[in-house]
């Protein structure tokens, strides 16, 4: 625990409004590598931080199309190629009867895409994070609002950034060690 490398600063804020304003100030001051932590999503925070829209929808569409076409392919192959038996006098490729399973598998695969896509975009599970060592950060899942600034941000400077955090309303400023 002697000489641990500092990887950033952590400021705490009293309310959603305060942390939203802080994010706007950081964005306007040119900071890019900072993050906001809150016990619930704060309306308007994405714009305040200046981050791009989530690409999750594209992942889900891709998965859904795989599910849809996979289901159709499976049912066609089973009913026409592998086990061609005439049922109720219907044609072998009676696609109308395949619609329900196509729909279900499309939803199933899209759901997998949404959940596991979200996990991978968020790089979860990540059972260790330097912030988990901070006693004060335990409040981030209860009633604490925090902002962290990464040390590798081009605008970062140990002293100036700390002062800046205080000037935009941070109640406490701590260093985050590796």
128 part of the interface to another protein, by CB under 8 A: yes
32 part of the interface to another protein, by CB under 8 A: no
Q: Which stretch binds another protein (CB under 8 A): 3-11, 53-61, 150-158, 159-167?
A: 53-61
Q: Which residues of 65-89 are buried (b: 16+ CB within 10 A; e: fewer)?
A: ebbbeebbeebeeebeeeeeeeeee
Question: What residues does 174 pair with on adjacent strands?
Answer: 10
Q: Which stretch binds another protein (CB under 8 A): 3-11, 99-107, 154-162?
A: 99-107
From candidates 9, 60, 149, 168, binder to another protein by CB under 8 A: 60
54 part of the interface to another protein, by CB under 8 A: yes
68 part of the interface to another protein, by CB under 8 A: no
Check if the beta carbon of residue 43 is closer than 8 Å to that of residue 92.
Answer: no
Q: At 65, is the secondary structure helix, strand, or coil?
A: helix
Question: What residues does 11 pair with on adjacent strands?
Answer: 147, 173
Q: Which is nearer to another protein, 4 or 15 (CB)?
A: 15
């Amino acid at each position: 625990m002697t000489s641990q490398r500092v990887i950033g600063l952590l400021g705490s804020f009293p309310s959603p409004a305060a942390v939203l304003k802080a994010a706007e100030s950081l964005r306007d001051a040119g900071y890019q590598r900072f993050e906001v932590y809150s016990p619930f999503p704060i309306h308007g925070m994405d714009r305040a931080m200046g981050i791009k829209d989530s690409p999750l929808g594209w992942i889900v569409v891709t998965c859904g199309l795989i599910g849809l076409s996979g289901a159709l392919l499976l049912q066609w192959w089973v009913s026409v190629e592998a086990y061609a038996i005439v049922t109720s006098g219907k044609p072998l490729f009676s696609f109308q009867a395949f619609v329900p399973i196509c729909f279900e598998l499309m939803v199933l695969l899209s759901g997998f895409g949404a959940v596991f896509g979200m996990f991978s975009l968020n790089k979860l599970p990540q059972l260790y994070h330097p912030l988990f060592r901070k006693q004060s950060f335990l409040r981030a899942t209860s009633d604490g609002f925090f902002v962290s600034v990464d040390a590798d941000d081009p605008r970062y400077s140990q002293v100036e950034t700390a002062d800046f955090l205080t000037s935009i309303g941070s109640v406490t400023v701590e260093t985050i060690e590796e």
